[in-house]
Structure 1
Amino acid sequence: MRSWNDYLFPMSLVLVLLVGWEIAARAVGMSYILPAPTEVVLKLWELKEILILRHLPATISIILVGLSISIIFGVGLAIWMSQSKIAEKAFYPIMIASQTIPIIALAPIFVLWFGYSIWSKVVVTVLITFFPITVNTFDGLRSSSKELKELLLTLGAKKRDIFFKLYIPSALPHFFSGLKVAVTLSVIGAAIGEWLGAQAGLGYFSRRMMTQFDGAGVFAPILLLSLVGIVLFLFVVLIEKITLKWRKTG
């Protein structure tokens, strides 16, 4: 009962917002600008085959490739910076500066460089997801207990033992926190890349519907993108619970 009570308020709030949206859309009567939620759901059902069979796989592939690259290189860079002050001073300011550049302004440049291939969208996704994964993992590696490190050294532990038995367990909760942020941002990055230049994908389809003044058609793939983001987030939460069974949640 406690778990249901935790979800009761947000679900009620979402329901109120949807009802308000439905009433406002019906009152305005301009579905090409503000479609009602029921119209969006019906349009999604109508377009389910083309969206799910063609455009959804294109978007999912961008998200998975971009996230994989961000995880591999982000974790690698975080480990390097935690072990080397020179690497930290060299790369940390660059990562901070990269977040001040609007990604949507760079996306057209990536289209010029890579064309309409998957890589122009992957680069956008990587730029958005790389930062939270790297910074959170780096902070987690630095948060390891100095007292435990000294104890392990006293007991004769080697650097490898300290890294895997102290640094990694300390960094894992931070890594998953960054990954939960990154998976939601990856959906945004893929959509931005497809919006500005693609031949398939949910973002591309939404943009195409906008040129046809089909409001419900614009929102239908956006709704599907939102569902993808929620599923990815819940998947990361599940993996986190399985991996961090040793952590006390209180």
Structure 2
Amino acid sequence: MVAIDAAPEPAKFMRKFEIPGFVYSVGAVAALLLIWEALVATGIISSFLLPAPSQIFRSLADNFSLILSMSVATTAEFLLGFVMAVLVGLPLGALIVYSRPIRLTIYPLLVAFQSIPKPAIAPIMIVWLGTGLTSKAVIAFAIAFFPIVVDTAIGLRSAQEETVHLVRSMGGNAFDIFRYVRFPNALPAIFGGLKIASTLAVVGAIVGEFVSADKGLGYLVLVANGNLDTRLVFACVFMLTALGLAFYFAIEGLERAILRGRVKTQAFESDH
């Protein structure tokens, strides 16, 4: 038989020329901004109704100190609301899984509360708690905590029953099952809920500022809109988007670090 050199595997060949994932996102955003800029520059879209990206960035630079100070207030509101959602949502999700009476009593109430449009009850929160930080944080909490509860419960329930029975057969109690089986298995679902909640907390803070506030990016949007300064409005929206993305990717980075550390720990324990 004549030896024939094996051709390179298609998968390996394609991996050498694979484009990094972020290039697609950056390219799509750049293309959108260029098209947007061109539509405004040619007069197809009025710059009053939709300012060009260059005009928005110029307004952001001109009002940067003001926008930054307002961003600090909004960030404090949604961070506090998010922390409250985590502190309430994680234990409540676990209780729903481990306690049938609580699940039958609390879960329908949670669903009913989630179905209430939060902008409708935001004015009530302002009346009860005032116009300061607390009311905005509570509104952010009210919008953000439900995904954490649901995803925590789903994650804890998703553990394989065979693994649970194995731990029990080895003398493990309920806490051992939670520590070694249910909670580690639930981490991806829990972080999924946290990432959803991070974006909703930002929305909640802005809803509160729209109702009543004297500072924050939502308040600045209302002031700029009242002055017909659409460039400043879009500059505030851009800053809100940047804050939301930074918060989201911070949680995603924490998720990767924790899950990667968990995998390394499991590999070390299996070797020893």
Q: Does 1:229 align with 2:236?
A: no
Q: Give the Å deviation of 1:30.
A: 3.8
Q: Give the Å deviation of 1:115.
A: 2.0
Cα gap change, 1:25 to 1:103, in 2 (>3 Å): farther
Q: Which runs of structure 2 are paired with 1:49-128 in the superposition (5 Å)?
A: 49-52=65-68, 54-128=69-143
Q: Does 1:216 align with 2:234?
A: no
CA distance in 2 between partners of 1:123 and 1:211 (Å): 27
Q: Give the Å deviation of 1:28.
A: 4.8
CA distance in 1 between partners of 2:246 and 2:19 (Å): 19
CA distance in 2 between partners of 1:32 and 1:127 (Å): 35
Q: Give the Å deviation of 1:201.
A: 0.6
Q: Does 1:189 align with 2:204?
A: yes
Q: Tell me, what secondary structure is at the counterpart of 2:47?
A: coil
Q: Give the Å deviation of 1:151.
A: 0.6
Amino acid at match of 1:115: G
Q: Does 1:138 align with 2:153?
A: yes
Q: Once structures 1 and 2 are overlaid, which stretch shifts more, 80-89 or 9-18? A: 9-18
Q: Give the Å deviation of 1:160.
A: 1.5
Structure 1, gaps ≥5 residues long: none
Amino acid at match of 2:189: H
Q: Give the Å deviation of 1:3.
A: 7.9
CA distance in 2 between partners of 1:222 and 1:173 (Å): 30
Q: Deviations over 1:190-247 (max 9, x none)?
A: 1111122111111111111000000011111111110011111111111101111145
CA distance in 1 between partners of 2:51 and 2:208 (Å): 25
Aligned residue number for residue 32 of structure 1: 48
Q: TM-score, normalised by structure 1?
A: 0.93
CA distance in 1 between partners of 2:187 and 2:45 (Å): 50
CA distance in 2 between partners of 1:78 and 1:161 (Å): 18
CA distance in 2 between partners of 1:87 and 1:216 (Å): 50
Q: Once structures 1 and 2 are overlaid, which stretch shifts more, 24-33 or 145-154? A: 24-33
Aligned-residue Cα RMSD (Å) equals 1.8
Bigger-Rg structure (1/2): 2
Instruction: Give aligned pairs, total.
Output: 247
Q: Once structures 1 and 2 are overlaid, which stretch shifts more, 41-50 or 10-19? A: 10-19
CA distance in 2 between partners of 1:150 and 1:123 (Å): 41
CA distance in 1 between partners of 2:146 and 2:17 (Å): 35
Cα gap change, 1:168 to 1:203, in 2 (>3 Å): same
Amino acid at match of 1:133: I
Amino acid at match of 1:36: A
Structure 2, gaps ≥5 residues long: 1-15, 265-272
CA distance in 2 between partners of 1:67 and 1:194 (Å): 16
Q: Which runs of structure 2 are paired with 1:144-155 in the superposition (5 Å)?
A: 144-155=159-170
Aligned residue number for residue 47 of structure 1: 63
Identity, in percent, stands at 32
Q: Give the Å deviation of 1:70.
A: 0.3
Aligned residue number for residue 188 of structure 2: 173
